[in-house]
Structure 1
Amino acid sequence: VEYQKANHDAWIPFEKVISGQEGGVVVPRLLPNSDYRFRIRFIGDSSQSVWSSESDWMKTLPAQPSAAPLALAASPYDSTSLLLQWATPLREDWNANAIGYRVAFREYPIAAENDTWTTVEIPANSTWPERPQYLLHNLASFRHYILRMRAFNSEGSGPFSPPVFVYVGYSIPKRTFKMKVITAVISLCFFWRLIILVLLQEEFKKEVQSRTQQTFYPATNLEEGVMYFFAVWAETSAGRGTEVTGNVTLGPILGGPPAPTRPTLTPGPSSVTLEWKDEKRDGVTGHLIQAKLVSKEMNAAQQKKRHRRSFGRPTHIHGIWVTLRVVEGAGQQHEVSYRELEPSSFYVFRVFARNELGIGKPSAETEQLFVPGQS
C-alpha cells in the first residue's frame, strides 16, 4: 500500500507489507484535515502486479491546532490598551480550515488570592496575514501584565505561546500631528501638535538630531539653494511614534511674490528706516528683512570702547546675510534699530515679500549704511 498527500508528488509506502488474507488496513499518523489518496498492488513469491488505479481523494478529520502563535510581542498603545503582534502558525499546523486566537492575561506579580487568567477571544478566520495585530483594551493603568496566546479551531485549543511581560501606563505616540513648513531664506520653522518631540534634519549624508518639548522648531544656519529632508516624531518613555516627513529647498519658491523695489534708507540718530514698493500688493502677507555686514571702521580706541560699552550688541560675520525679522502685514517700510547691528560698521539690506506659499525673490541690496559707534 502507498499513499500520497495532496500537493505532494511523492508516494509514501505503508510501513509494512499486508498479508494476502487481509481485506483492509488502517494507515496511522496522517496529518489532520488533509487530503490523501491511495494505491495498492499484489506481491507474490517471485513477481508483483502493477499498481492499481488511485483511489478518490479522502480527507482526514480536523484536530486541534498543533503549534502556538510565534514571536508574540506586546507594546503600550495608550494608558489602558496594549498592541499585540504575532506571527501566524504555518497552515499545516492549523489542522482545520480556520483558526482563531485566545489571549490570556493577568497582572504580574500574581496576587495570592487571585491567580485566574482573563481570556479574550479573537474570532476564527480562514485567512490571516503573516503578522496580525490586535488591540487589547480596558486594562488597568500603571500595572505590569503577563500575557500568552494560543490558537483554537472547531476541535479545540492548541499549545500556549511563551509568556511575555509588559507595563501598561505610558503609550507610544500616535501619528496624529501635521507638520507645516514656513519657508525663509536661511531659516525654517516647523510646527506640529504634540508635546514631546524629536526633530531630524538631514542634509545630504549629514544627519543632525534635535529634541524639543515645544510645538515648533527653528532650524537655522541653513544654506540657500540646498534641499533639506526632515522627519518629526513623538517620543515617550514607552518608545517612538510614527514619523512624518517632508523636504524643502531654501530660497524663493515658485508662486512667491515678485521682488520688491530696491529699498531706500533714511538714517536717524538711533535707527534707520527702510522703504520699498511691492510690484503686486495683492496676496502679500508680510516681508522678511535681511542685513549683511560688508566692512568695519574701528581704530584702537573705538575697539576698546566697543568692548566696554556695547554689551548685548550682535556679532555678525562679514559677507553673510542674516535675517533681522519677519514682518507681518503688507506695509512697505520698516525701522531697524542700530542696536541690532554692530557699531562702527557698514551694512547693506534687502527685502523679501511673502504670501501664503512662501517668500519670493529678494530685492536689490541697498546702498551702504554706516552704523555709528557708541559714544
Structure 2
Amino acid sequence: MSDVVDVGEVVDRVWRADAAGMLGALSRRLGDFDLAEEALSDALAEALKRWPQDGVPDSPSGWLVTTGWRKALDRLRRDAVGRDKVARLAVEPAPEPGVDDRLAMIFACCHPDLAEPARVALTLYAAGGLTTAEIAAAFLVPLPTMAQRLSRAKRQLRERGIRFEVPQPHEYADRLPAVLAVVYLVFNEGYLSSGRSAQRRELAREGVELARQLAALLPREPEVAALAALLELHQARAAARFDSWGRIVLLEDQDRRLWDEAAIERAALRLRSAVRQGRPGPYQVQAGIAALHALAVSYEATNWADVRSLYDRLHALDPSPVVLLSRSVATRFAVGPAEALDEVEALGDRLSGYHLWHAARADLLAALGRRAEALTAAERALELATNPAERELMSRRVGELRL
C-alpha cells in the first residue's frame, strides 16, 4: 500500500488514465457495457470509502476491476435474468485490465455502425475518462442532451450486439479509419475554438492523448503514429494561435518563438519512423505538410513547392475538393496568386457553400488588386461562417477591405 492521502485525486487520475482498460476488461467478460459501468461505479464509491483508511492499493486499477467484478456478480445474483449467467461467471477469476481491453473498448466505442455523434461522446466517456458534464461543456450542449446521447450510444452497443474485442490485424483496414476519424474530430472540436473556452482546450489535449495511446497500443500501424504526430504538430503551435483577446492569429502572423520546438522535434521523429514502414496513407501526408510548416524558420521560408506536392499526393489518396482548396494556398506562393485563383474558381461548383472557399477567393482577389470583388467574397465568407472565432477573423478582414 502507498501513503497517498488525496484519495479523490488518485481515483480521478486512475479513471482518466485507465477507464478504457477497466471498462473493457469488465465489458468483455460480462458482455454488457451498462453492467460493467454500474459495477465499476460501485467500485469507485467503495474506493472512496475504503482507501482513506486502508491506503491506496499498489495497483489501483486492478483493485477497482476486481471489486467491480464482485459488484457485478452481486447485481446478477439479485437479477432473476442474470442468475443463470452468474453461475458460469462466478467460477472465473476476476479480470485483470490489459492492452487488449483498452483497444477493445476504443474499437467498440468507434464502431462504424454507430452514428458519429455517438462515437465521439462514447469514446470520450469510456476511453478518455471524461465525465458527462465535461463532455457536454466541451461540445457546448446541455447536460441532459449529452446524457441522452450517451445513453442512446450504450443502448446501440447492446442492441446491435457490438462485441468488446480487438479486431484481427486483417480487419484493421476496415475498422481503423473510423477510430482515427473520431480521434481527429475530438481534437478539431477543441482546437479551432481553443481560444474561447478552457473546456475546448481540454478537448484538444484529450484528442492528442487518445492518439498517443493508440500509437503506443498499435506500434506497427504507421497511420496511427502519423495521426499522433499530426495532432502533436498542431498542438505545438497552440500558444501562438490566439492573441490575448482570444482572436485567431493566422499562421503567417504567428510568433514562432511561442511554438513548442521540443514537441515539434518529437512529432517529426514519430512521423519519420512511421514513414519508414513503407505503408503510406493520408495521415502521413497531412502530418508531412504540418511538419513542413512547423520546421520552417518563417512563413516565407516554407518550402511551398514541397507543400504543393504533398497536397497532390493527399488528393490522390483522398480526392476531396477541400484538399484542392488547401493546395491553392501553396500554389499562391509556389507559382503565383493568379494561378491559385484559377484553381479556387474551378472549385466553385462544389464549394460555393463553404465559407473557407469564399475566404480564399477574398485573399487571392485582394492580392491581385481586385478589392471590390475581394470585399464581396469576404462578406459572403462572414455570412457562412458559424464558429465565433472564425466570424471575428472574417469581420476584421471585411473591415480592412472596406478601408
TM-score normalised by the chain length of structure 1? 0.22
Bigger relative CO (Cα 8 Å, ≥ 6 apart): 1
Specify the structure having the higher radius of gyration (Cα): 1
Greater percentage in helix: 2
TM-score by length of 2: 0.21
